[in-house]
Structure 1
């Protein structure tokens, strides 16, 4: 197994452990406060790294417009993801968030002008079918948590499209810092309006959220430095299975038969899209 794949698997594991603390924290203080603290702690860690390297905290001047866009899109995805964890199971939240390759494929033609093949469209339709099974529209009500998870995937895909334009010419830590700063700006007013003083235990949860998700972000960055994105992206979907495992062990969450089928369809379609990208890179 390549070093890049190992980094990506470790990243998905650390992210998933962080999600445990996100769910615990959002059950106590709300998702706005948890998202702000994640941004604050991440900003402290990443800023220290940038200062040690002698790099500008806000990135290079010519890239700051795109860094701001990436930060806003990524922060919106993060807030929606935190809301999803508060309102639905870890398995559902993770599976719906990991539809971001689906949205990237759908947006590739209008935004990047990339060709979308029939194979890709077939996999997109398969993933959409999986989403519909999870949503269960026959029940008449769409879960807020499921909707938030899906929308977090959409905004994450838009953020990743901007990262493509930045990774070759910007310090990775500066890109992560843009996310942290935007998260603090977006969530601060709502956090103050809905403030709930955390207990010592909840404060520790929030601390672990900030540390673990930042470490996972750097592991992912190192993975993409080691290998082409198309070669290792599929390994990130292991996070869905970590989420199912941790959700059952820690929170007693057992997905329904419909949810299991929907999650499997999403997983298969996302892996299929990753395999197509891999073949394209090799050829």
Structure 2
């Protein structure tokens, strides 16, 4: 019995069928690609929702801390918000997989990262005691530029002239805001460096994360961070909780760091409670955003925090931004957004795939 292809017309008859198989395969592949694209778009949309929620929570958190900075020490507020925040994080952790999610192969890395975040928070919050909310927030947003710079020696990344130009423009924005002729209402010039130091600590944490490649669930990372906040604030209390180191100090930032603990009146309890809830919400929302979304895309939405901070400063504290502040803010924000746009276009974001913003 002849085999099918022994007949001269057999291949001709079979070709259309083979064509249909190939066409069907392409259709199936196209459908799979469409599904994958749709899933990626859906994940990015959810990530953007998380980042917007997280940025809004941060803005309220910063506003509340500035509001309370004249009456309470920073380490007391950090302790209360973190004690409540870790409870919120543990509840979320319970639904994400339980305490087993806390196990990690890189505990030392998480400790260093957490300490850098704590330092970023402490220096930024100390700035809030003396600076306009919008100005402090704008100066903190040089962090993406620092991340790009630190990635050169630490990660061996190549940064082209476009991003390097953007970095210089962003730093020019910092210089415009800190120029000698700018009126800061008697604020000590060194205080203006506090949010910049916070940005540098944050950037160091990001680059360290990229270098060592830590991966954890969003809720687990929030628990690590809140635990570190609690331990550091307790250390501050044991050393300076009686306020003896704040006596005779003229700097409001240092007094804010070292003031004695005060039992809050009933009218302020809700503010401390809200700080704690926000701490848990911020830690989870930002970690989740970067976990499921494209890092460069998600990070660009953090800049929505700038107009919100300026708005809170105007509405709550009567802070009217000066022209140099607005110009510097525009330069910093524009440079940061350009860096993210370049990284997205190159599909090689320098920022960590799962950063942990101030929380």
TM-score by length of 2: 0.72
Distance change in 2, residues 1:223/1:263 (3 Å)? same
Quick one: which of 163, 186, 193 aligns to 1:147? 193
How far residue 54 of structure 1 moved from its aligned partner, in angstroms, is 2.1
> Which residue is 2:322 aligned to?
256
What is the match of residue 244 of structure 1? 310
Contact 2:82 2:279 (C-alpha < 8 Å) held by counterparts: no
1:164 Cα deviation from its structure 2 partner? 3.7
Which residue in 1 is equivalent to 2:159?
116
The DSSP-based 3-state class of the residue aligned with 1:268 is: helix
1:270 and 2:314 matched: no
The answer for the alignment partner of 1:98 in structure 2 is 141
SS of aligned partner of 2:69: helix
Q: Residue 106 of structure 1: CA displacement?
A: 0.9
Q: 2:10 aligns to what?
A: none
Larger CA deviation: 2-11 vs 228-237: 2-11
In the alignment, structure 1 segments of 5+ residues that lack a partner are none
Larger radius of gyration: 2
For residue 212 of structure 1, the aligned residue among 278, 285, 292 is 278
User: Does the 8 A contact of 2:104 with 2:216 survive in 1?
Assistant: no
CA distance in 1, matches of 2:225, 2:207: 14
How far, CA to CA, are the matches of 2:139 and 2:303 in structure 1? 11
Which of the residues 37, 60, 65 maps onto 1:22?
A: 65
Provide the C-alpha distance between the structure 2 equivalents of 1:5 and 1:189, rounded to a whole number of angstroms.
Answer: 36
Tell me, yes or no, if the aligned pair for 1:101 and 1:270 is still in contact at 8 Å.
yes
* TM-score, normalization by structure 1: 0.91
**Does residue 13 of the first structure (1) align with residue 68 of the second (2)?**
no
* Corresponding position of 1:171: 217
- Give, in whole Å, the separation in 2 of the partners of 1:249 and 1:185: 34
Partner Cα separation in structure 2 for residue 47 and residue 167 of structure 1: 24
Q: 1:238: how far off?
A: 0.7
Q: CA deviation at 1:32?
A: 2.2
Q: How do residues 19-98 of structure 1 correspond to structure 2 at under 5 angstroms?
A: 19-51=62-94, 53-56=97-100, 59-98=102-141
Q: Against the structure 1 CA distance between its residues 186 and 161, is the aligned structure 2 distance closer, same or farther, given a 3 Å change threshold?
A: same
Q: Distance in 2 between matches of 1:7 and 1:78?
A: 21
Note the C-alpha offset of 1:166. 7.2
- Structure 2: 5+ residue stretches without partners: 1-43, 243-259, 350-359
Structure 1's 125 and 252: CA in aligned 2 closer, same or farther, altered over 3 A? same
Match of 1:137 in 2: 180
Say whether 1:182 aligns with 2:228.
Answer: yes
